[in-house]
Structure 1
Amino acid sequence: MIEPKNEVPASENHSRLLLDSYRRATGRDLLEPAPVQGKAAATLFRAPFVLLSHGTEADPVLNYGNAAALKLWEMTWDQFTGTPSRLTAEPMERSQREKLLIDAKEKGYSDGYYGIRISSVGRRFEIRNVLLWNVVDEQGIYRGQAAVFSEWTYV
């Protein structure tokens, strides 16, 4: 289901926005060393952690998932980026997820979250130590939210 390794469907601009907004929110770099100009999309897409983001719609739609995210949720890029982000969680997990999103929106970021998610084929997994942050551009305009994590277990 994952895109071929030689193809990077993400844009350089959105990838750079994710990197820069993470640094603004947390004071840390998402990748060390930070990728040089023109290499952010490829580096983030192939990173050894799960990274995803959604936009600002009333019912936010995923607009980014790296290769690890696509593999975990068992979707192609087109499927993933057409999915409302709330559908990545089972219905009973959505209220906890919503509290996390509100907390991060108010504070800039929230970390230490854990919860159960579900892949496109119904495989359940627990995500742990998730850091969620507001994606804000250089002008201070809110562009959505993103999450990163490296720990998950199938349940």
Structure 2
Amino acid sequence: MNTGLLRPLLRGHTASRCVSRIKHSFSTTPAMEGKPVEKNIREKLAKAFQPVVLEVINESGMHNVPKGSETHFKVVVVSSQFDSQPLIKRHRMVNEVLQNELQNGVHALSIMAKTPSQWEDSEKIIGKSPPCQGGAGL
């Protein structure tokens, strides 16, 4: 994989760490142990979309949930399967793949779904999520 083309700029993360995250994003690593929901999300999205970029970011720590929770995620999926699909359809496609997780503990899912050409034409910045509005009831 040519990671030179896939360097997202995550606020608060160094470029080298971002490249490392991309290189390892399609396989589970020892760091995935103890993170079953994140692992399932990563594996399902990789299998369903064969993405050129896949980021799964656990944002649960930004919310009023117990430490170590896996309830709030942001996913970045860049796939040619999104070509000619409107944004709402792309989001529905991702939601369908993650239906089980969304019905069983994942409270919030932020989705960035782009085509490879959109990704290449973008600034490759994965923005910070808005602050928690509460009401999770967890």
> How would you bin the TM-score normalised by the shorter chain?
0.3 to 0.5
Larger helix proportion of the pair: 2
Query: Does 1 or 2 have the higher relative contact order (CA < 8 Å, sep 6+)?
Result: 2
What TM-score does the superposition give when structure 1 sets the normalisation length? Answer: 0.30
